Copies of this chain bind each other. A is one copy, B any other.
Amino acid sequence: MKPAKRPTVHDIAAAAGVSRGTVSRVLNGGYVSAEARAAIETAMSDLGYVPNNAARALKMRRSQAVAFVALEPHSLFLDDPNIGAIMLGANAALSLADHQMVSLVVESARDTERVARYLSGGFVDGAIVVSARTKDPIIKVISDLSLPAAFVGHPPELDQHIPFVGIDNVGSARAITEHLRSTGRRRIGMIAAALDRDSGIDRLTGFRSALGDLFDEDLVADVPHYDYGSGVKGMRDLLEREPAIDGVFAASDAIAAGALEVLREAGRSVPGDVAVAGFDDSTWAVRTQPQLTTVHQPAKEIGSCAAQVVLRQLRGEPTDAGGQLLPTPLVLRDSA
């Protein structure tokens, strides 16, 4: 027993007493008489017709869909509060252009292969890739297919012709560190995270350049992730190495939140004894006590900007291969 075979253009044409071509025209625009149009439309709603996108995609070489590829989703979905906002921003922009966003999750090598097949299978016209490492095999697939794409937050060094969207991590880190200095702090430390990624390295670079001669390698705690637990660990480390520390730049808001907890336990007031600055302006920033001074990451804008980049390529307009950095205003709250 078949599951109620779906009607096709043929069925509609037969029911309305016209030919398939005419049905196609009322769907895609063209010259159709009013009566034919009416007959076809009633036939369509009677039979519950929906066009078969698979056939359309095959014929048109266009699926009206763009992939949102999330690599390393474990860390992303569970730790990074930005990924959701980026997705929402991308979805909104694609939606406006009548495109469907389909997000693909890559967890394992097995996934990589399957997603590669999916991307090359004609189901999507383009791709937005989040958090790729430079050597990720997905990059090669995309570049081999010359699939219109945009990378988020991470310039793909190898393939200069794939544009990316991100923020100026170096500049933002420098700016907020300078803010810490401007409040009179002298012994400023940093909890640096994810030094295996560009974002992590760049934030440390910015911190170092803002301090200049004041920079002291001993005041940098190196933690693996951007999460709360790493913040706890990093702050304990810093306090032990330099009890007189009076300023901390945390590489993320979650880290800053962990640092605040440690400082509270140690009896240091914030910002009285120690000024603390975060990064991201995520939901963490307003949940802590005191609320965090931090760097605003325009997550939604990043998403929508990446979508625009892909859409432009789809329209055949050339894009600035170099990529695009979005502004990251400082958000001054109570912690620094």
Which A residues fall within an 8 A CB radius of B?
3-4, 6, 48, 50-58, 63, 65, 73-74, 77-78, 81, 84-85, 87-88, 91-92, 95, 98, 100-105, 107-108, 110-111, 114-115, 117-118, 120-123, 144-146, 228, 257, 261, 283, 287, 289
Contacts and interface: CB of A to CB of B under 8 A. Distances in A.
25 contacts: A4-B146, A48-B144, A50-B145, A52-B58, A53-B117, A53-B118, A53-B121, A53-B123, A54-B63, A55-B122, A63-B123, A65-B123, A77-B84, A78-B81, A78-B85, A95-B107, A95-B110, A100-B104, A100-B115, A100-B118, A101-B105, A102-B118, A103-B105, A123-B123, A228-B287
Contacts of A102: 102-104, 118
A244 to B, nearest CB: 26
Contacts of A55: 58, 122
Contact of A111 (B54, B95, B103, B118): B95
Contacts of A100: 104, 114-115, 118
Contacts of A57: 54, 123
Given A54-B121, A117-B53, A121-B53, A105 B87 contact: yes
Contacts of A114: 95, 98, 100
A113 B88 CA distance: 17
B228 A122 contact: no
Contacts of A50: 117, 120-121, 145
A52 B3 CA distance: 26
A289 B145 CA distance: 51
A114 to B, nearest CB: 6
Contacts of A92: 107
